[in-house]
Structure 1
Amino acid sequence: MLLSGPQDDRVLPADLYRRLAGDLGANGCRVAADLAGDRLVAVLEGNPDLIMVSHEELLADKRAASEDATDLVTAMHTLRDDGAGTVIVSRSGAAPALALLDEPSSGERGGDVVEIVMPALEPADPRGAGDSMTGGVVAALAGGRPIREALQVGAACGALNVVRHGLGTGGARAVETLAERVEIRSWTG
């Protein structure tokens, strides 16, 4: 289940996200959320499996001190401590997205931080890239793909959205072709 925010903050109370995340998770549903502000705080109490947030939202929520990757990774670990599983942070421009994976290589909960590196592409319209990335990651996970492959698919969806005019206009074949070119590499900080 993907939980995201309404266009108008008066539509749904933030606490509804806590209840939804908690109830869905308790009943065997994997929960992903693309939220910020009070809604992010609330959904974290429900221990979602995946959080997607932009670096701008982390700055606005005062969760990150700057857009420097080290500060963003610190904020990601705080989100993990607050209840999130995997945490993905999208970044604007050529900066690679970051993910704190809930698949530890050491055998302990905590996971690894990776960069999601796209091939160089000339943008046409940056609107909607993060939403397309979120949708791609969640769709890939729902289809049974492992998290690293899901990150590649999500990044390809976001990139295709940016290089085309019109939100969400990339087709499945283009997504799969571009996903093969997305590099997931360890963040060395």
Structure 2
Amino acid sequence: MTDAPAPPAPDEHAPTVSVLALTPLLTIEIEPSGPRDGSPEVHVHPGGQGLWLGRMAYSLGARVVVCGPFGGETGMVAAHLARAENLDLRTTTTGGNGAFVHDRRSGDRAEVVTMDPYPLNRHEVDDLYGTALVSGFDAAVTILTGSETDVGVAPSFFERLTNDLHASDRTVVADLSGEQARAVASGAGAVLKISHEEMVEGGFSDDDSEKALLAGARELVADGPRALVVSRAEDPTLLVTPDRTYSAQAPDVTTVDHRGAGDSMTAGIAVGLARGLDLPGAVRLGVAAGALNVTRRGLGTGRRDQIERLAERVTVEEIS
């Protein structure tokens, strides 16, 4: 994972984006020999979906507040590194955060070890909810992220948070799957981003054809979300609202690492909405952020000027 130049600090008029980071991680990557003496390089970064999203949102010029549980040795280091990347943390407690070690010396990513996070107890869940809620009241947009690991947070947590923020006219962008996504979809007002695989695996679509994905998306937005964004790898992204449907396509690029593209897209959508863009404009920025991220080594990375220039080449069309 290569290090990029630090993005400039947001200006005083930059919008604030709050991120619920349910499972912050400590990530360690072993890279092939470096330029000095031929020995391997070891890179240590804060990770997990919420922190990757926060990194991209900051790169796009937003002020980023991250709400999440941090604890134990892994949490202490991850929090320190996240603050060094200019993320403003609102921490709650946990017994310990997860971590992984990946070895890339062969050219492929080999998993050396993965440690799951400690589950949250009832008091820790309540504290996290209050922290995310109050932070969301103060932010232009709140991003909700979930976890594939059971950390003791029920799907209803996301539905309540979405509804409570929507009731105060706060904008919510959710990047979730499975029952967590279903819970947000049953609430009101969120922009829900989900991949085509997750649409099928979650039972929202019969298959991954565009026709089936559109049918499932239109059914979901009929009574709940403000909009559904379906990412489809190299195929055009779909944006479905109760009234209109769009496709968004970035220029073809060569993929170096596909991981993090969806998170970068979500961050771009959230920052676009925080800037006051309409949904198609925000999705255009998100598609550009995701497309540029796959050309890089480093999840949630990219330069604002390059992403915004690429966004001008993203085609957004209304479809029937």
- Normalization by structure 1: what TM-score? 0.90
- Aligned mates of 2:295, 2:189 — CA distance in 1: 31
Q: CA deviation at 1:152?
A: 1.0
**1:46-85 paired onto structure 2 within 5 Å:** 46-85=187-226
Where does structure 1 differ by over 4 angstroms across 4 or more consecutive aligned residues? none
Q: CA deviation at 1:48?
A: 2.9
Is 1:41 aligned to 2:173, yes or no? Answer: no
Q: CA deviation at 1:64?
A: 0.9
What is the match of residue 107 of structure 1?
none
Is 1:139 aligned to 2:281, yes or no? Answer: no
- Aligned mates of 1:48, 1:7 — CA distance in 2: 24
C-alpha contact (below 8 Å) 1:2/1:138 kept by paired residues: yes
What is the match of residue 310 of structure 2?
178
- Normalization by structure 2: what TM-score? 0.54
C-alpha contact (below 8 Å) 2:256/2:296 kept by paired residues: yes
For 2:155, give the aligned amino acid: A
Residues matched between the structures, number: 179
What is the match of residue 235 of structure 2?
95
What is the match of residue 12 of structure 1?
153
Q: CA deviation at 1:82?
A: 4.2
What is the match of residue 103 of structure 2?
none
- State the secondary structure of the residue aligned to 1:163: coil
Identity of aligned residues (%): 35
Between 141-150 and 155-164, report the one with greater CA deviation.
Answer: 141-150
- Aligned mates of 2:169, 2:207 — CA distance in 1: 36
Instruction: Give a deviation string over 1:102-156, Cα, whole Å, max 9, x none.
Output: xxxxxxxx22111111111111111111110001000110111122211111001
- Aligned mates of 1:20, 1:115 — CA distance in 2: 29
Q: Which runs of 5+ in 1 are unaligned?
A: 102-109
C-alpha contact (below 8 Å) 1:124/1:165 kept by paired residues: yes
C-alpha contact (below 8 Å) 1:137/1:151 kept by paired residues: yes
Distance 1:22 1:144, change over 3 A: same
C-alpha contact (below 8 Å) 1:32/1:48 kept by paired residues: no
Q: Which protein shows a greater Rg? A: 2
Q: CA deviation at 1:75?
A: 0.8
- State the secondary structure of the residue aligned to 1:111: coil
Q: CA deviation at 1:79?
A: 1.1
State the Cα RMSD in Å: 1.3
**Which is richer in helix?**
1
